Amino acid sequence: MTALRVLLLEDNPVDAELLLYELSREKYDLRVERVDNEADYLQALETMPDIILADYSLPQFNAMRALQLLKERGLDIPFIVVTGTISEEVAVACMKQGAADYLIKDRLSRLGQAVERALHEKRLRDAQRQAAEALRISEEKFAKAFHLSPDAIAINRLSDGVYLEVNRGFEQMSGFRAAEVLGRPVREVGIWRDVDELRRFVAVLRAQGEVINMEGHFVSRQGEQITGLVSARTLVLDGEECVLTLTRDISDRIRAARALEQAHQELESAYDATIEGWSLALELRDQETEGHTRRVTQLALRFGRRLGLTEQELKHLRRGVLLHDIGKMAIPDAILRKPGPLTEEEWAIMRKHPEYAYRMLSNIAYLKPALSVPYCHHEHWDGSGYPRGLKGEDIPLMARLFTIVDVWDSLCHDRVYRERQEAEEVIAYLREQAGKIFDPHLLAIFLEMIEADRMRGENVCGSCG
């Protein structure tokens, strides 16, 4: 059971008990402190609660003031407004002031979900801050190293590469004392790790008269591998054509960049693991569609590649598809798991799941590029879909793409209220709905892909032929 420290800003004991009763149903180990005035609230903030549940209006205090005090102290504590009545303008103002969510007291069934989402968003913010702090520390270390270690500067004769002069930065980077290199050519000293790279450097220098920020790879006298950023320019000294070369040691920066990239990949992996967990949770609840999400994810990515989506777009598409039915988490079991066709009233509730998905995901920054799939995949090309009745290319591309994939997979597999259809029947239905449900151009490309699969003898419908 997860421990949860709750700061409850509420002056009505009965309302407080109702809130805590609803929250206790979510299997939290609650540790609650209730206050009803500003002084006690400020004192309670010092204990750093995990979440704040606040009545919008108290006799001497209100939620907007509480949010202001939270912001003034630079504290990031999830804050949910729970009130008897609240206008849309006030709700928007609360969200702008930093509230994670707001609830009406006579509709507390969403409290556990709102709390979990607020805590999840807090965890994501913490992870982002940790990554940013790691980057800041890394850049700070590099900047300090740079200022303490001056750039390596050398002057060489262009004709034979003989060193004429080097500075202390060169000595420190290379490990050679000036007396050991002066009068000797570059190749003999052997600082450049790759002779072919040295040839390319000289060729560019001879052709253009300068080299700007070329990455070079060196080896010190002690065998240390060094990556440097090399800039050079030809000049005439005492009647001889020479080369002035400045090399900045960027080895620390390269290592820091690799470490940051690894941290970024680990964070991305954590994001995707969270999404897959949400998707699995929904699939476990809605066992009728077991395997559906895995299949449509694979097919949507194939379709997206065929359409020429970039890797970044494919990443957002994958996340959107995994979460395409996440709004069904808010649909009652009696409707979601009903063993038969739904009534009109039940369909009206079921059709709200894209809006629930939007409300659940729209405040999660990294999911915004993927949100069009769960929010818009029931929109139709002719404008007859839901939730907003979008039409044509007003429907985002990823949603139009996925609508085709989703219907294809649904018709190819059994449901409790109907049996699967054969591939020819599904194809005929999709063609019939071109320009109605589906983008006709995208549908033509999709069916070309399916037909190519069939020509290779593949089982294009999974369990159907």
Q: What is the mean pLDDT of the chain?
A: 85
The confidence band for 374, taking pLDDT boundaries of 50, 70 and 90, is: very high
Cα–Cα distance for residue pair 431/426, rounded to 1 Å: 9
pLDDT at 232: 92
For 310, which DSSP code? Answer: -
Amino acid letter at 148?
L
Looking at per-residue pLDDT, the higher value among 219 and 139 belongs to 219
Cα–Cα distance for residue pair 352/346, rounded to 1 Å: 10
Q: Read off the pLDDT of each residue in 388-400 and give the average, rounded to a whole number.
A: 95
What's the order of all strands across the beta sheet hosting 163-166? 163-166, 152-157, 240-249, 225-237, 210-219
All domains in the chain, ordered by first residue: 2-123 (3.40.50.2300), 149-249 (3.30.450.20), 255-455 (1.10.3210.10)
The confidence band for 141, taking pLDDT boundaries of 50, 70 and 90, is: low
Per-residue pLDDT at 435 exceeds 50:
yes
- Strands of 182-239 (E only): list them: 210-219, 225-237
Cα–Cα distance for residue pair 175/116, rounded to 1 Å: 57
Cα–Cα distance for residue pair 279/287, rounded to 1 Å: 12
Lowest mean pLDDT among 124-138, 180-194, 282-296: 282-296
Q: Which of 109, 12, 94, 68 is nearest to 330 (CA)?
A: 109
pLDDT at 149: 40
pLDDT at 267: 67
pLDDT at 24: 82
Contact 151, 169 (CB under 8 A): yes
The confidence band for 98, taking pLDDT boundaries of 50, 70 and 90, is: confident
Torsion of CA 92, 90, 118, 396, to 10 degrees: -20
Q: Read off the pLDDT of each residue in 138-163 and give the average, rounded to a whole number.
A: 71
Pairing of strands 101-104, 152-157: unpaired
Radius of gyration from C-alpha coordinates of the chain? 32
Cα–Cα distance for residue pair 166/173, rounded to 1 Å: 11
pLDDT at 26: 77
pLDDT at 417: 59
The confidence band for 394, taking pLDDT boundaries of 50, 70 and 90, is: very high
Buried b (16+ CB within 10 A) or exposed e, 96-123: ebebbbbbebeebebbbbbbebbbebbe
Per-residue pLDDT at 372 exceeds 90:
yes
Give the global pTM: 0.48
